[in-house]
Amino acid sequence: MAAAALIGGWPSPFVLRARVALNLKGVEYEFLQEKYGEKSELLLRSNPVYKKVPVLLHHDKPVCESMIIVEYVDAAWAKSGQAILPADPYERALHRFWAVYIDDKVRMPPSISDLLVPSMFGIAKAQTEEAKAESVEQAWAALKLLEEAFEKLSKGKAFFGGGTIGYVDIALGAYLGWAKVIEQMAGLKLFDEEKTPLLAVWAERFCAHEAVKEVMPETEKLMEFAKMRLGK
């Protein structure tokens, strides 16, 4: 019997965060998929405040919000797998800061919380070349700061978390599937080898990691979902 259950939907980057964290810790869990456009009784009962995914069920107790779930998984299975957050209090604070930045500058508006980030969503919805160019510049400005953060936090290693995937890696990496969709829709490169070379290499490493590659949604499948959502 699975040690935990995760209520979620395959297209959601927030659900992906929880799945990667559980995989890093080697936790066996049951994935309870919600149908798009519907909210199950289990979801409503487990998250009566926000009524949204993801929700982790552990010992029949619900844990809500993606990055809170990541921290919970790190603490609840502290002796399993690798640590997701640094042990040093200051380093831990820095990683939390950049995760908040990602959800502030990279996260999508609540009304489309299952789809795209604000700057990326602006790119996809831009009606003129000027509007598209402005959205692209906003996206690149946010990524440039994250490039600088990566250089400091990684300390010359492969991930924000150092030698292994950590808290900030999960926060940002969950958007990579949707970034590929936006790149195709808008005909541009977000994780550009010239503008953000460190992040470009990091993105490839993240997607190829054992804890990620089996749960990262396929680009074509996400594209179909995006067209359906944007059509509405």
| pTM, full prediction | 0.90
Q: CA 30 → CA 5, 27, 37, 55, 69, distances in Å? A: 4, 10, 21, 12, 15
Rg (CA), the chain: 17
Residues 6+ apart with CB under 8 A from 123: 132, 135, 136, 139, 182, 185, 186, 188
> 184 or 89: whose pLDDT is higher?
89
Q: Is residue 186 over pLDDT 90?
A: no
Using CA atoms, how far apart are residues 160 and 231, in angstroms rounded to an integer?
36
pLDDT tens-place string over residues 23-72:
999 999 999 999 988 999 999 999 999 999 999 999 999 999 999 999 99
Model confidence pLDDT, tens digit, residues 90-106: 999 999 999 999 988 87
CA 28 to centroid of chain Cα atoms:
20
> Would you state the structure tokens that stand for residue 95, as one six-digit string?
């990683």
Name all domains of the chain by residue range, CATH numbers in brackets. Answer: 4-76 (3.40.30.10), 89-231 (1.20.1050.10)
